Amino acid sequence: MRQPIIICLLAMTLTFFTARPVRAQAAPAQEKPAATELETVKDRFSYALGLNLGRQFQQQGLDINPAVVARGIAAILEGTEPELTEEDIQAVVRAYEQEQAAKREQAAKKNKEDGEAYLTANAKKDGVKTTRTGLQYLVLKEGTGKSPTTDSEVVVHYRGKFIDGKVFDQSYEGDAPTADEEPISFGVTQVISGWTEGLQLMKAGAKYRFFIPSGIAYGPMGRPGIPPNSTLVFDVELMKVVN
C-alpha cells in the first residue's frame, strides 16, 4: 500500500534538488571558514528546508538515518558521483518496503494480541461497561445536558493514550484543561467510529473514558503516530453539543 507514497516522496525530494540549474564548481583550493551555524540567511533557510523534509519523512513513518540522507543530498548539490545508481535506488526502495512491511505485520499482530488481553482484563473492572461493538467506557462524571446525535457538532477536551499509558494526542497539557487551552469542535461522524458511538452515550458536561478496540479505531492500517491494530484509551469531556 505504501510503496507508491515512498517512491513519490523520494522522487519529489530528488527532483527538488536535481531540477534546479545547480552545477557545482570545483571547490577552491582554500575555502573561507564556514559561517557560524544559522548565522546567515542561507544557513537558516537550509535548516528550515531540512526541518520541512524531516517532517515529511516523519509523517510517512520512515525509519531512516538522517546523516546518510544529508550525504545523499550533498552528493547532488556538490556534483559528486552518487553512491547509488537509479537502478540501485529502485531496488533499495523495494527492499526497504519489504523490510518495513514485515515489521508492520509483526507489530500489528502483537498490538492486536496485547489489545485483546488488555480489554479482556479491563472489562472486569468496576464501572467499566462494554457495548455490542466492543467499545468499553467508564463514566468519570455524568452530564446534565443533551446527548449528541450523528447530526450534531460537539465541543470537547480530550486526551488519547496507548494502553501502556503513553499520550499520543491531547487538547490540553496538564492534569485538567486551563482557561487558555481551547477545546476542539467537530461533527460526531467526522471521527473514528469508537468516538462516534461513545459520544452519543454522553450528555453535555459529562466526562467519560473510552477504551476503543482497534477495529473501531484505526484498524490494521493505523495512521502516522498510531501503530496498526492499536487499542486506544481516551478521556473525553463533552463541553457542548452545538446542534
Q: Which residue has the higher pLDDT, 173 or 3?
A: 173
pTM of the model: 0.72
Closest C-alpha to 225, from 181, 173, 165, 161: 161
Amino acid code (one letter) for 208: Y
HSE value, Cβ hemisphere, 13 Å, CA-based, for 12: 10
The predicted pLDDT at position 39 comes to 87
When pLDDT is cut at 50, 70 and 90, the band that residue 229 belongs to is very high
What's phi and psi for 189, nearest 5 deg?
-95, 5
**pLDDT tens digit sequence for 50-65:** 999 998 888 777 889 9
Of residues 111 and 8, more confidently modeled: 111
Q: Is the pLDDT of residue 106 over 70?
A: yes
For the cut 90, the answer to whether the pLDDT of residue 41 exceeds it is yes
**Per-residue model confidence (pLDDT) at position 156:** 96
123 pLDDT more than 50: yes
Q: Helices (DSSP H) in the chain: which residue ranges?
A: 3-18, 41-59, 66-77, 86-122, 193-199
Q: List, for residues 152-176, the tens digit of each pLDDT value.
A: 999 999 999 999 999 999 999 998 8
Task: Report pLDDT for 52.
Answer: 93
> What separation, in Å, do the N-terminal and C-terminal C-alpha atoms of the chain show?
38
Q: Which residues are catalytic?
A: 158, 168-169, 192, 218, 234
Cα separation, 221 vs 61, in Å, equals 12
* Mean local confidence (pLDDT), 6-25: 43
Would you tell me how many other CB atoms lie within 10 Å of the CB of residue 212?
Answer: 27
Position 148 pLDDT exceeds 60: yes
Residue 112 amino acid letter: K
Give 51's contacts (C-beta < 8 A, 6+ positions apart). Answer: none
| pLDDT tens digit sequence for 69-102 | 999 999 999 999 999 999 999 999 999 999 988 9
Reply yes or no on whether the pLDDT at 213 is more than 90. Answer: yes
Calculate the CA 144 to chain-centre distance: 34
Q: How far is CA 29 from CA 26, 32, 75, 224, in A?
A: 9, 10, 19, 47
Q: Is pLDDT at 33 greater than 60 in this prediction?
A: no
**pLDDT at site 90:** 93
Collapsing DSSP states into helix, strand and coil, what is residue 53?
Answer: helix
* 42: CB partners within 8 A, 6+ apart: 35
